[in-house]
Chains A and B, each alone.
Chain A
Protein backbone atom coordinates (compact mmCIF):
# COMPACT_ATOMS: atom_id res chain seq x y z
CA UNK A 1 0.00 0.00 0.00
CA UNK A 2 1.23 3.40 -0.93
CA UNK A 3 0.85 6.31 1.47
CA UNK A 4 -0.07 9.45 -0.39
CA UNK A 5 1.33 12.76 0.62
CA UNK A 6 -1.57 15.16 0.77
CA UNK A 7 -1.60 18.78 -0.14
CA UNK A 8 -1.61 21.21 2.80
CA UNK A 9 -5.15 21.92 3.94
CA UNK A 10 -6.87 24.63 5.86
CA UNK A 11 -8.05 23.65 9.32
CA UNK A 12 -6.64 21.55 12.10
CA UNK A 13 -7.53 18.00 11.05
CA UNK A 14 -5.69 16.20 8.29
CA UNK A 15 -6.90 12.67 7.77
CA UNK A 16 -5.08 10.42 5.36
CA UNK A 17 -6.18 8.54 2.30
CA UNK A 18 -4.19 5.37 1.82
CA UNK A 19 -4.16 3.73 -1.59
CA UNK A 20 -5.25 0.11 -1.10
CA UNK A 21 -5.58 -1.16 -4.64
CA UNK A 22 -6.22 -0.22 -8.23
CA UNK A 23 -8.67 -1.73 -10.71
CA UNK A 24 -7.91 -1.32 -14.37
CA UNK A 25 -10.30 -2.64 -16.96
CA UNK A 26 -8.20 -2.85 -20.09
CA UNK A 27 -11.25 -3.43 -22.24
CA UNK A 28 -12.88 -0.22 -21.09
CA UNK A 29 -11.85 3.39 -21.04
CA UNK A 30 -15.15 5.07 -20.31
CA UNK A 31 -15.99 4.63 -16.61
CA UNK A 32 -19.26 6.40 -15.89
CA UNK A 33 -19.79 5.22 -12.32
CA UNK A 34 -18.42 3.00 -9.57
CA UNK A 35 -19.99 1.51 -6.46
CA UNK A 36 -19.84 -1.46 -4.11
CA UNK A 37 -22.24 -4.33 -3.55
CA UNK A 38 -22.45 -7.26 -1.16
CA UNK A 39 -22.11 -10.50 -3.13
CA UNK A 40 -22.52 -13.98 -1.71
CA UNK A 41 -21.15 -17.03 -3.49
CA UNK A 42 -20.27 -20.49 -2.16
CA UNK A 43 -21.29 -19.42 1.35
CA UNK A 44 -18.93 -16.47 1.41
CA UNK A 45 -20.28 -12.92 1.48
CA UNK A 46 -17.91 -10.20 0.30
CA UNK A 47 -18.01 -6.51 -0.49
CA UNK A 48 -17.40 -6.37 -4.24
CA UNK A 49 -16.76 -3.40 -6.52
CA UNK A 50 -19.01 -2.58 -9.46
CA UNK A 51 -17.75 -0.45 -12.34
CA UNK A 52 -19.93 0.83 -15.15
CA UNK A 53 -19.13 2.13 -18.58
CA UNK A 54 -21.76 3.16 -21.10
CA UNK A 55 -22.33 -0.28 -22.57
CA UNK A 56 -21.43 -2.73 -19.79
CA UNK A 57 -21.25 -3.23 -16.03
CA UNK A 58 -18.48 -5.27 -14.37
CA UNK A 59 -18.52 -7.00 -10.98
CA UNK A 60 -15.09 -7.29 -9.27
CA UNK A 61 -14.40 -9.71 -6.43
CA UNK A 62 -11.53 -9.13 -3.96
CA UNK A 63 -8.55 -11.48 -4.03
CA UNK A 64 -5.75 -11.50 -1.49
CA UNK A 65 -3.63 -9.42 -1.35
CA UNK A 66 -5.06 -6.26 -2.87
CA UNK A 67 -5.98 -7.81 -6.17
CA UNK A 68 -9.34 -7.96 -7.89
CA UNK A 69 -10.88 -10.48 -10.22
CA UNK A 70 -13.65 -9.86 -12.74
CA UNK A 71 -16.56 -12.10 -11.79
CA UNK A 72 -19.12 -11.01 -14.33
CA UNK A 73 -19.65 -8.52 -17.14
CA UNK A 74 -23.21 -7.61 -18.05
CA UNK A 75 -23.53 -6.26 -21.59
CA UNK A 76 -26.27 -3.67 -21.92
CA UNK A 77 -28.28 -2.59 -24.95
CA UNK A 78 -28.35 0.61 -26.96
CA UNK A 79 -29.30 2.93 -24.11
CA UNK A 80 -26.15 4.04 -22.25
CA UNK A 81 -25.61 3.38 -18.55
CA UNK A 82 -25.47 6.69 -16.72
CA UNK A 83 -25.52 5.71 -13.04
CA UNK A 84 -25.16 2.84 -10.58
CA UNK A 85 -27.88 3.08 -7.93
CA UNK A 86 -26.47 1.65 -4.66
CA UNK A 87 -28.89 -0.50 -2.65
CA UNK A 88 -27.54 -0.13 0.90
CA UNK A 89 -28.21 -3.56 2.40
CA UNK A 90 -29.05 -5.67 -0.63
CA UNK A 91 -26.99 -8.70 -1.64
CA UNK A 92 -26.37 -10.23 -5.09
CA UNK A 93 -28.11 -7.45 -7.00
CA UNK A 94 -26.83 -4.35 -8.82
CA UNK A 95 -29.22 -1.58 -9.80
CA UNK A 96 -28.38 0.69 -12.72
CA UNK A 97 -29.97 3.69 -14.42
CA UNK A 98 -29.79 4.07 -18.19
CA UNK A 99 -30.59 7.00 -20.42
CA UNK A 100 -29.19 9.92 -22.32
CA UNK A 101 -29.64 13.27 -20.60
CA UNK A 102 -32.26 11.85 -18.24
CA UNK A 103 -32.90 8.40 -16.82
CA UNK A 104 -35.12 6.41 -19.17
CA UNK A 105 -34.75 2.92 -17.66
CA UNK A 106 -33.88 1.28 -14.37
CA UNK A 107 -32.50 -2.26 -14.60
CA UNK A 108 -31.44 -4.90 -12.10
CA UNK A 109 -28.38 -7.07 -12.67
CA UNK A 110 -28.33 -10.21 -10.60
CA UNK A 111 -27.43 -13.85 -10.22
CA UNK A 112 -30.20 -16.37 -10.55
CA UNK A 113 -29.48 -19.43 -8.40
CA UNK A 114 -32.51 -21.11 -9.97
CA UNK A 115 -30.93 -20.98 -13.43
CA UNK A 116 -27.30 -20.82 -12.16
CA UNK A 117 -26.65 -17.83 -14.37
CA UNK A 118 -26.25 -14.07 -14.30
CA UNK A 119 -29.15 -12.11 -15.75
CA UNK A 120 -30.68 -8.66 -16.03
CA UNK A 121 -34.26 -7.44 -15.73
CA UNK A 122 -36.08 -4.23 -16.60
CA UNK A 123 -37.62 -2.68 -13.49
CA UNK A 124 -38.97 0.69 -14.62
CA UNK A 125 -39.19 2.93 -17.68
CA UNK A 126 -40.23 6.58 -18.11
CA UNK A 127 -38.84 10.07 -17.70
CA UNK A 128 -37.20 9.43 -14.35
CA UNK A 129 -35.93 12.57 -12.64
CA UNK A 130 -34.45 11.02 -9.51
CA UNK A 131 -33.85 7.58 -8.03
CA UNK A 132 -32.44 6.39 -4.71
CA UNK A 133 -31.83 2.92 -3.32
CA UNK A 134 -33.33 2.46 0.16
CA UNK A 135 -32.76 -0.09 2.89
CA UNK A 136 -34.68 -3.39 2.76
CA UNK A 137 -34.29 -3.84 -1.04
CA UNK A 138 -36.42 -0.84 -1.95
CA UNK A 139 -36.08 1.91 -4.53
CA UNK A 140 -37.72 5.33 -4.63
CA UNK A 141 -38.08 7.23 -7.89
CA UNK A 142 -39.75 10.35 -9.24
CA UNK A 143 -41.19 10.03 -12.71
CA UNK A 144 -42.55 12.96 -14.71
CA UNK A 145 -45.15 13.06 -17.45
CA UNK A 146 -46.53 16.25 -19.03
CA UNK A 147 -49.55 16.18 -16.74
CA UNK A 148 -48.29 14.74 -13.50
CA UNK A 149 -45.47 13.47 -11.35
CA UNK A 150 -45.37 10.01 -9.82
CA UNK A 151 -43.25 9.31 -6.76
CA UNK A 152 -43.08 5.58 -6.14
CA UNK A 153 -41.43 3.07 -3.82
CA UNK A 154 -40.64 -0.24 -5.50
CA UNK A 155 -39.82 -3.30 -3.37
CA UNK A 156 -37.50 -5.68 -5.18
CA UNK A 157 -38.16 -9.40 -5.36
CA UNK A 158 -35.41 -12.01 -5.09
CA UNK A 159 -35.83 -12.84 -8.77
CA UNK A 160 -35.28 -9.29 -10.05
CA UNK A 161 -38.83 -8.06 -10.43
CA UNK A 162 -40.95 -5.74 -8.34
CA UNK A 163 -42.64 -7.38 -5.37
CA UNK A 164 -44.68 -4.37 -4.34
CA UNK A 165 -45.23 -0.76 -5.46
CA UNK A 166 -46.35 2.08 -3.23
CA UNK A 167 -47.15 5.62 -4.33
CA UNK A 168 -46.04 8.66 -2.33
CA UNK A 169 -48.09 11.87 -2.59
CA UNK A 170 -46.06 14.07 -5.00
CA UNK A 171 -45.39 17.77 -4.45
CA UNK A 172 -46.31 20.19 -7.27
CA UNK A 173 -42.67 20.73 -8.21
CA UNK A 174 -40.44 18.09 -9.74
CA UNK A 175 -38.41 16.11 -7.20
CA UNK A 176 -34.74 16.14 -8.23
CA UNK A 177 -33.12 14.16 -5.37
CA UNK A 178 -34.02 11.93 -2.42
CA UNK A 179 -32.33 11.14 0.89
CA UNK A 180 -33.15 8.68 3.68
CA UNK A 181 -33.41 10.10 7.19
CA UNK A 182 -31.02 8.56 9.71
CA UNK A 183 -32.64 8.22 13.10
CA UNK A 184 -36.14 8.12 11.61
CA UNK A 185 -36.62 5.08 9.39
CA UNK A 186 -40.13 5.93 8.23
CA UNK A 187 -39.20 9.40 6.95
CA UNK A 188 -37.88 10.33 3.51
CA UNK A 189 -36.78 13.74 2.28
CA UNK A 190 -36.39 15.17 -1.20
CA UNK A 191 -35.32 18.41 -2.85
CA UNK A 192 -37.39 19.98 -5.62
CA UNK A 193 -36.81 22.09 -8.71
CA UNK A 194 -38.26 25.06 -6.81
CA UNK A 195 -35.55 24.69 -4.15
CA UNK A 196 -37.70 23.22 -1.39
CA UNK A 197 -37.12 20.29 0.95
CA UNK A 198 -40.10 17.94 1.16
CA UNK A 199 -40.72 15.28 3.82
CA UNK A 200 -42.75 12.10 3.37
CA UNK A 201 -44.04 9.41 5.66
CA UNK A 202 -42.79 6.26 3.89
CA UNK A 203 -45.30 4.01 5.62
CA UNK A 204 -48.42 5.97 4.72
CA UNK A 205 -47.19 7.79 1.59
CA UNK A 206 -48.25 11.15 3.07
CA UNK A 207 -46.48 14.35 2.06
CA UNK A 208 -45.88 15.87 5.49
CA UNK A 209 -44.12 19.13 4.79
CA UNK A 210 -42.67 21.36 2.11
CA UNK A 211 -40.02 23.75 3.42
CA UNK A 212 -38.22 26.44 1.40
CA UNK A 213 -34.44 26.12 1.42
CA UNK A 214 -34.03 29.85 0.88
CA UNK A 215 -32.45 32.04 -1.75
CA UNK A 216 -29.01 31.83 -0.15
CA UNK A 217 -28.63 28.20 -1.24
CA UNK A 218 -29.63 27.93 -4.90
CA UNK A 219 -30.18 24.70 -6.84
CA UNK A 220 -29.88 22.51 -3.76
CA UNK A 221 -29.49 18.73 -4.00
CA UNK A 222 -30.10 16.67 -0.83
CA UNK A 223 -27.63 13.89 0.00
CA UNK A 224 -28.40 12.79 3.57
CA UNK A 225 -30.68 13.76 6.42
CA UNK A 226 -30.51 13.17 10.16
CA UNK A 227 -33.36 13.52 12.65
CA UNK A 228 -32.26 14.72 16.08
CA UNK A 229 -33.72 16.71 18.98
CA UNK A 230 -36.91 17.59 17.10
CA UNK A 231 -35.01 18.98 14.11
CA UNK A 232 -34.20 17.67 10.66
CA UNK A 233 -30.60 18.24 9.58
CA UNK A 234 -30.30 18.00 5.79
CA UNK A 235 -26.97 17.82 3.92
CA UNK A 236 -27.27 19.83 0.73
CA UNK A 237 -24.86 20.49 -2.09
CA UNK A 238 -24.90 23.18 -4.72
CA UNK A 239 -23.19 21.83 -7.83
CA UNK A 240 -23.77 25.06 -9.72
CA UNK A 241 -23.47 27.53 -6.87
CA UNK A 242 -21.80 30.84 -7.48
CA UNK A 243 -18.82 31.82 -5.45
CA UNK A 244 -19.89 33.96 -2.52
CA UNK A 245 -17.54 36.26 -0.65
CA UNK A 246 -19.61 35.97 2.49
CA UNK A 247 -19.64 32.17 2.58
CA UNK A 248 -16.43 31.37 0.71
CA UNK A 249 -16.86 28.52 -1.74
CA UNK A 250 -19.52 26.29 -0.20
CA UNK A 251 -19.60 22.77 -1.63
CA UNK A 252 -21.82 21.19 1.03
CA UNK A 253 -23.87 22.69 3.81
CA UNK A 254 -25.95 21.30 6.66
CA UNK A 255 -29.26 23.09 7.16
CA UNK A 256 -31.36 22.55 10.29
CA UNK A 257 -35.10 22.54 9.59
CA UNK A 258 -37.82 22.69 12.17
CA UNK A 259 -40.50 20.56 10.47
CA UNK A 260 -43.16 22.01 12.79
CA UNK A 261 -42.66 25.58 11.60
CA UNK A 262 -40.84 24.99 8.26
CA UNK A 263 -38.20 27.48 9.43
CA UNK A 264 -34.56 26.73 8.80
CA UNK A 265 -31.05 27.85 9.56
CA UNK A 266 -27.68 26.94 8.10
CA UNK A 267 -25.51 25.30 10.74
CA UNK A 268 -22.38 24.15 8.89
CA UNK A 269 -20.74 25.11 5.63
CA UNK A 270 -18.05 22.97 4.03
CA UNK A 271 -16.01 25.15 1.74
CA UNK A 272 -13.77 24.19 -1.13
CA UNK A 273 -10.10 23.95 -0.19
CA UNK A 274 -7.98 26.97 -0.92
CA UNK A 275 -6.84 27.10 -4.54
CA UNK A 276 -9.44 24.62 -5.79
CA UNK A 277 -12.34 26.93 -6.58
CA UNK A 278 -14.17 26.84 -9.89
CA UNK A 279 -12.32 27.43 -13.12
CA UNK A 280 -12.05 31.03 -14.16
CA UNK A 281 -14.03 31.27 -17.38
CA UNK A 282 -13.23 34.45 -19.34
CA UNK A 283 -16.33 36.58 -19.73
CA UNK A 284 -18.40 34.52 -17.31
CA UNK A 285 -19.90 36.67 -14.60
CA UNK A 286 -21.11 33.84 -12.42
CA UNK A 287 -22.62 30.34 -12.37
CA UNK A 288 -19.16 28.82 -12.64
CA UNK A 289 -19.50 25.25 -11.38
CA UNK A 290 -17.51 24.81 -8.20
CA UNK A 291 -17.46 21.05 -8.43
CA UNK A 292 -18.68 18.39 -10.78
CA UNK A 293 -20.29 15.79 -8.55
CA UNK A 294 -20.10 14.37 -5.07
CA UNK A 295 -21.22 11.77 -2.56
CA UNK A 296 -22.02 11.74 1.16
CA UNK A 297 -21.88 8.83 3.60
CA UNK A 298 -22.52 9.23 7.32
CA UNK A 299 -20.85 12.56 8.06
CA UNK A 300 -18.22 12.39 5.31
CA UNK A 301 -18.59 14.13 1.97
CA UNK A 302 -16.44 13.83 -1.12
CA UNK A 303 -16.48 15.54 -4.50
CA UNK A 304 -14.53 15.88 -7.69
CA UNK A 305 -13.55 19.52 -8.06
CA UNK A 306 -13.29 21.38 -11.33
CA UNK A 307 -9.54 21.53 -10.72
CA UNK A 308 -9.47 17.74 -11.26
CA UNK A 309 -8.74 17.02 -7.58
CA UNK A 310 -10.91 14.99 -5.16
CA UNK A 311 -11.69 16.56 -1.80
CA UNK A 312 -13.03 14.93 1.39
CA UNK A 313 -14.87 16.92 4.05
CA UNK A 314 -15.89 16.08 7.58
CA UNK A 315 -19.33 17.67 7.71
CA UNK A 316 -19.25 17.93 11.50
CA UNK A 317 -15.96 19.83 11.44
CA UNK A 318 -17.06 21.80 8.39
CA UNK A 319 -13.77 21.69 6.58
CA UNK A 320 -11.79 19.70 4.06
CA UNK A 321 -9.79 16.89 5.68
CA UNK A 322 -8.11 15.25 2.69
CA UNK A 323 -7.31 16.04 -0.90
CA UNK A 324 -6.23 13.87 -3.82
CA UNK A 325 -4.42 16.07 -6.31
CA UNK A 326 -5.21 15.59 -10.03
CA UNK A 327 -1.79 14.11 -10.80
CA UNK A 328 -1.11 11.76 -13.66
CA UNK A 329 -2.08 9.75 -15.67
CA UNK A 330 -5.30 11.69 -15.68
CA UNK A 331 -7.57 13.85 -13.62
CA UNK A 332 -10.21 12.37 -11.36
CA UNK A 333 -13.71 11.91 -12.75
CA UNK A 334 -15.60 10.02 -10.02
CA UNK A 335 -15.64 10.03 -6.23
CA UNK A 336 -17.88 7.62 -4.30
CA UNK A 337 -17.98 6.16 -0.81
CA UNK A 338 -18.27 2.39 -0.52
CA UNK A 339 -21.63 1.30 0.88
CA UNK A 340 -19.75 -0.31 3.80
CA UNK A 341 -16.33 0.28 5.34
CA UNK A 342 -14.31 3.47 5.07
CA UNK A 343 -13.34 3.17 1.41
CA UNK A 344 -13.22 5.98 -1.08
CA UNK A 345 -13.66 4.81 -4.69
CA UNK A 346 -11.91 7.24 -7.00
CA UNK A 347 -12.29 6.92 -10.76
CA UNK A 348 -9.91 8.41 -13.31
CA UNK A 349 -10.91 9.56 -16.77
CA UNK A 350 -8.95 6.66 -18.31
CA UNK A 351 -11.23 4.12 -16.57
CA UNK A 352 -8.89 3.22 -13.68
CA UNK A 353 -10.59 2.95 -10.29
CA UNK A 354 -8.49 3.43 -7.15
CA UNK A 355 -9.59 2.25 -3.70
CA UNK A 356 -8.45 4.40 -0.82
CA UNK A 357 -8.80 3.70 2.88
CA UNK A 358 -9.89 6.88 4.67
Chain B
Protein backbone atom coordinates (compact mmCIF):
# COMPACT_ATOMS: atom_id res chain seq x y z
CA UNK B 1 0.00 0.00 0.00
CA UNK B 2 1.35 3.41 -0.88
CA UNK B 3 0.37 7.05 -0.51
CA UNK B 4 -0.52 7.12 -4.21
CA UNK B 5 -3.27 4.55 -3.47
CA UNK B 6 -4.47 5.71 -0.10
CA UNK B 7 -3.51 9.36 0.17
CA UNK B 8 -1.24 10.96 2.77
CA UNK B 9 -0.55 8.56 5.66
CA UNK B 10 -0.11 9.82 9.21
CA UNK B 11 1.38 7.71 12.00
CA UNK B 12 -0.57 9.84 14.49
CA UNK B 13 -3.96 9.46 12.82
CA UNK B 14 -5.68 8.32 16.02
CA UNK B 15 -4.60 11.35 18.04
CA UNK B 16 -5.29 13.71 15.14
CA UNK B 17 -8.80 12.38 14.48
CA UNK B 18 -9.54 12.41 18.23
CA UNK B 19 -8.57 16.09 18.35
CA UNK B 20 -10.76 16.89 15.31
CA UNK B 21 -13.87 14.78 16.07
CA UNK B 22 -16.81 16.15 18.07
CA UNK B 23 -16.53 15.27 21.77
A residues contacting B by CB (< 8 A) are 169, 184, 186-187, 199, 201, 204, 206-209, 227, 229-231, 256-261, 263-265, 267
Q: How far is the CA of A230 from the CA of B11 in the complex (A)?
A: 4
Q: A265 with B8: in contact, given A204-B18, A208-B17 (CB under 8 Å)?
A: no
Query: Which chain A residues border B8 with CB–CB below 8 Å?
Result: 258, 260-261
The 8 Å CB contact of A260, one of B16, B18, B21, is B16
Contact with A along B1-23 (1 / 0, CB 8 A): 10001111111011011100111
Chain A nearest Cβ from B23, distance in angstroms: 7
B residues contacting A by CB (< 8 A) are 1, 5-11, 13-14, 16-18, 21-23
Q: How far is the CA of A295 from the CA of B9 in the complex (A)?
A: 30
Q: How far is the CA of A201 from the CA of B10 in the complex (A)?
A: 17
Smallest CB gap from B1: residue in A:
A256
Chain A nearest Cβ from B17, distance in angstroms: 4
Query: Which chain A residues border B1 with CB–CB below 8 Å?
Result: 231, 256, 265, 267
Q: How far is the CA of A257 from the CA of B14 in the complex (A)?
A: 13
Q: Are B7 and A263 in contact, with the CB atoms below 8 A?
A: yes
Q: A256 with B6: in contact, given A184-B14, A208-B14, A227-B14 (CB under 8 Å)?
A: yes
Chain A CB within 10 A, most for which of B16, B21, B22: B21
Chain B CB within 10 A, most for which of A169, A208, A227: A208
Query: Which chain A residues border B10 with CB–CB below 8 Å?
Result: 230, 260
Q: How many A-B residue pairs lie within 8 Å, measured between CB atoms? A: 60
Add 12 more A-B contacts to A256-B6, A260-B9 (CB < 8 A): A186-B14, A187-B14, A204-B23, A227-B14, A231-B6, A258-B9, A258-B13, A259-B13, A261-B6, A261-B7, A263-B5, A265-B6
Q: A265 with B14: in contact, given A204-B23, A206-B23, A207-B21 (CB under 8 Å)?
A: no
Chain B CB within 10 A, most for which of A230, A256, A263: A230
Q: A231 with B9: in contact, given A256-B1, A267-B1 (CB under 8 Å)?
A: yes
Query: Which chain B residues border A231 with CB–CB below 8 Å?
Result: 1, 6, 9
Query: Which chain A residues border B7 with CB–CB below 8 Å?
Result: 258, 260-261, 263
Chain A CB within 10 A, most for which of B5, B6, B8, B21: B6
Chain A nearest Cβ from B11, distance in angstroms: 5
Chain A nearest Cβ from B6, distance in angstroms: 4
Query: Which chain B residues border A227 with CB–CB below 8 Å?
Result: 14
Query: Which chain B residues border A265 with CB–CB below 8 Å?
Result: 1, 5-6
Q: Are A229 and B9 in contact, with the CB atoms below 8 A?
A: yes
Query: Which chain B residues border A257 with CB–CB below 8 Å?
Result: 6
Q: A264 with B18: in contact, given A204-B23, A230-B11 (CB under 8 Å)?
A: no
Q: How far is the CA of A201 from the CA of B14 in the complex (A)?
A: 8
